């Protein structure tokens, strides 16, 4: 295919006509001219080209009114693609659907390879935002062969999408690889999203690399010029608080949580209010103020949707708190959770571990914590939870005067703390 800039408007319309299987006679009838005139124009045998009014008629006939045909329209079209992306990111789905219908005309122009690929990549982002992961995966497979000669701009969007897809599949290591590839691309005429650094930080956090996550979040905070209260700033500060909490800086975490709780309440965003209250509970638990922690976990339920993963996460921490407080309701909460966690390996193990804490004096229970719970949590980079169970076992073996086992558990805990302070596993 000839490069776009070497093609005249008439040649572009000819290519589209041929691709759609529309005969020259149909164009001739629409313009009220003879077919030989169309043939001469398309083959550059006719000096007089289409007039503006004729081009408008032909574009309508070929259904490419909104596609970039005339000189300079490619720039306008590209801007429209980013208007579409903005609507997607803001979850203005009705507007995004309308724009998708308008911009899909680019698929009729085989000579606009770069713009067509960019359209496809933004379409994948739309599918991911709507949680249509299966169709997004299919679209990714179709887009991959087109990446060999892709621009940095297209490669950026592809890797961003792949990172998002991997995060949906809970594969944070691969997601981090794609987000880093996106970050390493030098911009040509595109601007990287501040959410890229938020996503990199989220991967670091999920991989137990809390120090690195804090550094990346701080970078994102400085890049983000608009300091107004919005969901992005809440998410950033909430994650930053989580990372500070997991490295033991509870005071810094609480300060950030107080700030973003005010913002979340001002926006009446229930999901974030629930998440922040939950994190406040975790901070209180870390500070060993268990009654306060329990109160925060109870308050969080008001804003969380029963059955969703964060609701179950909050239920786990409530049960853990009740166990520390020796409250008999802990058994009831663990039983309550069983019906909601059947499809989750992670939560099945966590609630089984809580059940074993209730019978820790029995050998199978403390063996389960030592040989199953802690190794599993370490394999999933859940260092903060692993440390909690190490602390429980250390206290148990110390009381039993089993110095050897207590020292073994202490050594595991020291290794975890060392990983956390050195930046994690990678």
Highest-scoring range by mean pLDDT, 7-16, 218-227, 361-370: 361-370
Residue 5 has what pLDDT?
55
Residue 226 has what pLDDT?
56
Q: Which residue in 272, 323, 317 sits closest to 296, CA to CA?
A: 317
Nearest 10 degrees: Cα torsion 217, 221, 223, 227: 160
Residue 421 has what pLDDT?
82
What string of DSSP letters covers 22-56?
--HHHHHHHHTS-HHHHHHHHTT--SS---HHHHH
CATH 1.25.40 holds for 226-300: yes
**pLDDT tens column, 356-391:** 999 999 999 999 999 999 999 999 999 999 999 999
Enter the DSSP assignment of 145: G
**pLDDT tens column, 71-81:** 889 999 999 99
Per residue in 395-423, is it b (16+ CB within 10 Å) or e — as a string?
ebbeeeeeeebbeebbebbeebeebbeeb
**Statement: residue 342 has pLDDT above 70:** no
Q: Where are the domains of the chain?
A: 4-65, 226-300, 305-358, 359-426
pTM: 0.85
Topology annotation, domain 4-65: 434 Repressor (Amino-terminal Domain) (1.10.260)
Q: Which residue in 246, 195, 248, 252 sits closest to 221, CA to CA?
A: 195
**SS3 sequence of 294-335:** HHHHHHHHCCCCCCCHHHHHHHHHHHHHHHHCCCCHHHHHHH
Kindly tell me the burial class for residue 226, based on how many C-beta atoms sit within 10 Å of its own C-beta (0-12, 13-18, 19 or more): exposed
Residue 424 has what pLDDT?
58
**pLDDT tens column, 65-113:** 999 999 889 999 999 999 999 999 989 999 999 999 999 999 999 999 9
**pLDDT tens column, 171-186:** 999 999 999 999 999 8
């Amino acid at each position: 295919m000839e490069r776009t800039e070497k093609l005249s408007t008439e040649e572009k319309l000819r290519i589209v006509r041929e691709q759609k299987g529309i005969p020259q006679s149909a164009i001739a009838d629409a313009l009220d001219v003879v077919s030989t005139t169309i043939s001469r124009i398309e083959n550059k045998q006719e000096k007089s080209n289409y007039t503006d009014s004729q081009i408008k008629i032909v574009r309508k006939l070929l259904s490419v009114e909104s596609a970039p045909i005339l000189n300079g329209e490619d720039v306008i079209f590209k801007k429209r693609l980013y208007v579409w992306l903005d609507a997607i990111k803001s979850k203005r789905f009705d507007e995004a659907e309308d724009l998708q219908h308008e911009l899909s005309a680019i698929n009729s122009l085989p000579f606009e390879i770069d713009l067509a690929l960019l359209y496809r990549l933004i379409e994948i982002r739309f599918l991911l935002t709507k949680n249509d992961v299966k169709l997004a995966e299919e679209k990714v497979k179709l887009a991959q062969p087109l990446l060999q000669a892709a621009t940095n701009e297209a490669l950026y969007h592809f890797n961003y999408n792949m990172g998002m897809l991997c995060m949906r599949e809970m594969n944070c290591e691969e997601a981090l690889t794609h987000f880093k590839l996106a970050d390493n691309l030098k911009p040509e005429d595109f601007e990287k999203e501040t959410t890229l650094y938020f996503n990199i930080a989220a991967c670091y956090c999920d991989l137990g690399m809390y120090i690195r996550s804090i550094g990346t979040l701080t970078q994102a905070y400085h890049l983000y010029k608009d300091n107004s209260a919005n969901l992005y700033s809440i998410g950033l500060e909430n994650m930053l608080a989580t990372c500070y909490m997991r490295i033991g800086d509870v005071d810094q975490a609480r300060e950030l949580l107080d700030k973003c709780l005010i913002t979340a309440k001002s926006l009446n965003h229930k999901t974030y209010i629930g998440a922040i209250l939950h994190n406040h509970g975790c901070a209180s638990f870390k500070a060993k103020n268990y009654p306060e922690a329990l109160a925060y976990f109870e308050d969080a339920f008001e804003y969380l949707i029963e059955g969703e993963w964060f609701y179950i996460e909050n239920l786990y921490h409530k049960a853990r708190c009740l166990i520390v407080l020796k409250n008999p309701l802990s058994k009831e909460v663990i039983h309550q959770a069983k019906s909601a966690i059947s499809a989750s390996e992670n939560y099945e193990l966590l609630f089984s571990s809580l059940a074993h804490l209730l019978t820790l004096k029995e050998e199978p229970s403390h063996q389960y914590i030592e040989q199953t719970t802690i190794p599993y949590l370490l394999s999933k980079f859940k260092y903060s939870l692993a440390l909690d169970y190490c602390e429980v076992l250390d206290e148990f073996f110390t009381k039993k005067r089993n110095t050897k086992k207590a020292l073994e558990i202490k050594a595991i805990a020291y290794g975890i703390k060392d990983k956390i302070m050195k930046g994690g596993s990678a």
